[in-house]
């Protein structure tokens, strides 16, 4: 039985979650509170849950402060539900970097109907979160200033590093990129994120990475040495070869493997044009996105890897890649970094 505790100052939101969770055989609503301070009083009576559903903006204590406090006691999966999602807020990115499992949008109107429409997604998140490996980083920086100018190469990249990730991937991608050496091959990334967040994500990473320029990809971008391109939310990203250069093309067509942008779309495009000049990685995440694309890369002659189960928050996408016969080897995050740094 998965025990869930809901902390949100909106009665409508709490009622909406209770409506969709009540009667589910493997889920129990352990309790609820309209703010974290009152929640701590409730924990004395009912104990701690397996999963939290948590708002950001609340009276007495905000959600980010609560996330830090609870994870210092016992790292616990947290699903964030906030109106800030539509704004691409850096606060929610901080929450993800601090170990939040997933973020979902809290609508301002028709809350109950909205949550009911996303019932299956909510149930999937809760069940996956219960078994997730939460990576709480106590010393994580949340006041990073953007580095406006960096010395990076203007040379087109002859090799491509293609990475796909979902749940837990924001932490993994940050760890990878902040440890890359200067003059690394161009890196193209699909991280499942809502529209509006990918630009904020790229800006944040750019401020953290000492040797890489990180940008939200634009149609027509030429892949260059030392540069990282994040696929924008709600658009597929492909890489095409135009002349002697690799160029990004953004496209708007239906979801592939339940996602847009899709890892499979990116990796399939790389398989067609880069072959032995590319390396593909599928990292932590729910679902199967990326497995078919990684297999195409392997069949074309590319080196292909996935993140190992031990270091994955959710071993869904990597497992699907293994089962598809799409990988050469499973790697830890440290080994992924080492592999990229050794590629020239």
Indicate which residues carry an active-site annotation: 166, 192, 289
- Which residues fall within 8 angstroms of residue 157, CB to CB, at 6 or more apart? 185, 186, 223, 224, 225, 227, 246
φ/ψ (deg, to 5) at 288:
-125, 5
In the block, tokens 């209770």 appear at 18
Give 20-26's long-range contacts (Cβ < 8 A, gap of 24+).
20/115, 20/116, 20/119, 20/122, 20/123, 21/122, 21/123, 21/126, 24/123, 26/1, 26/2, 26/127
In the block, tokens 């190469």 appear at 153
> If we measure between CA atoms, which residue out of 27, 279, 303, 328 comes closest to residue 162?
279
| CB contact at 8 A, 280 and 162 | yes
φ/ψ (deg, to 5) at 150:
-135, 155
In the block, tokens 């091959």 appear at 185
Residue 226 burial (C-beta neighbours within 10 Å; 0-12, 13-18, 19+)? buried
| CB contact at 8 A, 8 and 15 | no
- Which residues fall within 8 angstroms of residue 127, CB to CB, at 6 or more apart? 2, 26
């Amino acid at each position: 039985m998965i025990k869930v505790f809901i902390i949100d100052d909106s009665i409508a939101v709490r009622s909406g979650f209770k409506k969709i969770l009540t009667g589910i055989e493997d889920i129990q609503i352990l309790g609820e509170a309209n703010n974290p301070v009152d929640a701590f009083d409730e924990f004395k009576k009912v104990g701690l849950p397996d999963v939290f559903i948590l708002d950001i903006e609340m009276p007495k204590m905000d959600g980010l402060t609560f996330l830090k406090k609870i994870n210092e006691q016992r790292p616990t999966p947290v699903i964030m539900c906030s109106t800030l999602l539509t704004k691409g807020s850096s606060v929610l990115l901080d929450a993800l970097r601090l170990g939040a499992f997933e973020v979902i949008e809290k609508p301002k109107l028709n809350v109950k109907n909205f949550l009911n429409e996303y019932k299956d997604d909510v149930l999937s998140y809760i069940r996956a979160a219960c078994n997730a490996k939460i990576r709480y980083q106590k010393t994580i920086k949340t006041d990073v200033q953007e580095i406006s100018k960096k010395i990076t190469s203007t040379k087109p990249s002859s090799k491509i590093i293609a990475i796909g990730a979902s749940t837990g991937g924001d932490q993994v991608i940050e760890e990878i990129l902040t440890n890359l050496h200067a003059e690394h091959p161009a890196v193209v990334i699909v991280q499942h994120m809502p529209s509006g967040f990918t630009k904020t994500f790229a800006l944040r990473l750019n401020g953290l990475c000492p040797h890489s320029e990180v940008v939200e990809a634009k149609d027509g971008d030429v892949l260059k040495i030392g540069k990282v391109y994040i696929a924008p939310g709600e658009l597929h990203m492909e890489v095409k070869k135009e002349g002697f250069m690799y160029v990004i093309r953004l496209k708007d067509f239906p979801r592939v493997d339940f996602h847009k942008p899709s890892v499979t779309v990116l990796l399939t495009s790389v398989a067609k044009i880069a072959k032995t000049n590319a390396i593909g990685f599928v990292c932590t995440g729910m679902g199967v996105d990326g497995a078919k694309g990684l297999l195409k890369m392997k069949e074309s002659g590319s080196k292909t890897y996935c993140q190992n189960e031990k270091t994955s928050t959710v071993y869904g996408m990597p497992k699907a890649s293994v089962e598809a016969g799409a990988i050469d080897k499973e790697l830890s995050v440290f080994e992924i970094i080492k592999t990229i740094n050794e590629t020239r």
